[in-house]
Amino acid sequence: MGSNQAAVSFLTNLARAAFGLGAAATALNASLYTVDGGERAVLFDRFRGVIDTTIGEGTHFLIPWLQKPFIFDIRTRPHTFSSVSGTKDLQMVNLTLRVLSHPDVTKLPQIFQRLGLEYDEKVLPSIGNEVLKAVVAQFNADQLLTERPHVSALVRESLIKRARDFNILLEDVAITHLSYGAEFSRAVEQKQVAQQEAERSKFVVMKADQERRAAIIRAEGESEAAKMISDATSKAGTGLIELRRIEASREIAATLAKSPNVSYLPGGANMLLALNPGR
């Protein structure tokens, strides 16, 4: 009987010890939290509120139930968003902006109090659209292409300044896409076609002008040659004309002699060739 009571007492004590160890392990586990690499923590206290201290990497203690950790990812992350903005000449432009951002580690308690864990999703699209619309409105539609580096620099400078107001740091800002509305694209295409037609018409006019000048020069040359021949004939007689007729007759006779279809020279050849028409 005594041995049974001893065994029951031993088992009871063992169960109590195991329960105590389990409770202690649970309490210890609830008192610890881990901050991984690339993360920081903000601690919320039920009595003091958000503690104004950023907690670094490693394993840390807290008071169970009274305190609760909130983990922030402080690594640089990309964000992409689009905006439809109006230019200075009232053209609609589709823009896509890509930014690389991370929070200011020293300001994480303030970020948590004002914006929460999803601070970037709440802030970046809003200020991005605001900055894009403000910058694009300063330029005409064609200037967005010809002065794109300047436009990107203005967007970057303005967006970095606005993000800093929310304790967000930007490492890179880039315009990745820019396109115009259908009406503006059609107008640009029509303008290019009109310019090509104007250049073609200009070429046709220049060609006609050159041909006109060539015709004038040719006519002046022929007139000058005729005048010189006329002057020479009036002074020296028609010997030069007779010589030219003889040369032409020789060329015609040589051509006819080589032709297989002509075997003799017609009797009226002298009259046809106009040789000595006065005889």
Q: What is the pLDDT of residue 202?
A: 83
Strands, sheet with 77-86, edge to edge from the N-terminal-most edge strand: 77-86, 92-103, 168-180
Hunting for tokens 């005729």 — which residue is that? 226
Q: Hey, which residues does 68 pair with through a beta bridge?
A: 44
**For 98-140, what is each residue's pLDDT tens digit?**
999 999 999 999 999 999 999 999 999 999 999 999 999 999 9
Q: Where does the pLDDT of residue 51 fall: very low under 50, low under 70, confident under 90, or very high at 90 and above?
A: very high
Asked if pLDDT for residue 4 goes beyond 70, the answer is no
- Per-residue pLDDT averaged across 156-174, rounded? 94
CB atoms within 10 A of CB 195: 10
Asked if pLDDT for residue 44 goes beyond 80, the answer is yes
The DSSP-derived string for 34-61 is: EE-TTEEEEEEETTTEEEEEEE-SEEEE
- Per-residue pLDDT averaged across 180-197, rounded? 68
CB atoms within 10 A of CB 244: 12
Q: Hey, which residues does 100 pair with through a beta bridge?
A: 78, 172
**For 211-220, what is each residue's pLDDT tens digit?**
888 888 888 8
Q: What is the pLDDT of residue 212?
A: 85
**For 55-99, what is each residue's pLDDT tens digit?**
999 999 988 889 999 999 999 999 998 988 889 988 889 999 999
Q: Where does the pLDDT of residue 186 fall: very low under 50, low under 70, confident under 90, or very high at 90 and above?
A: low
Asked if pLDDT for residue 239 goes beyond 70, the answer is no
Residue 116 DSSP code: -
- Total residues found in the chain within this entry: 279
Q: Where does the pLDDT of residue 227 fall: very low under 50, low under 70, confident under 90, or very high at 90 and above?
A: confident
Q: What is the pLDDT of residue 128?
A: 92
Q: Give the H or E element holding residue 163.
A: helix 148-164
Mean pLDDT of the chain: 81
Q: What is the pLDDT of residue 271?
A: 44
- Residue 65 CB contacts under 8 Å (≥ 6 apart), including other chains: 46
Report the candidate in 144, 126, 150, 216 with the shortest Cα–Cα distance to residue 180: 144
Tokens of 277: 């028409």
What CA–CA distance (Å, rounded) separates 198 from 208?
15
Q: Give the H or E element holding residue 8.
A: helix 2-30
What CA–CA distance (Å, rounded) separates 7 from 61?
40
- Residue 235 CB contacts under 8 Å (≥ 6 apart), including other chains: none
Q: What is the pLDDT of residue 272?
A: 45
Backbone angles phi, psi at 147, to 5 degrees: -120, 35
To the nearest whole percent, how much of the chain has pLDDT over 90? Answer: 41
What CA–CA distance (Å, rounded) separates 115 from 95?
27
Backbone angles phi, psi at 174, to 5 degrees: -145, 140
- Per-residue pLDDT averaged across 184-191, rounded? 64
Q: Taking CA 167 as the corner, what is the angle to CA 66 and CA 134, rounded to the nearest 5 degrees?
A: 140
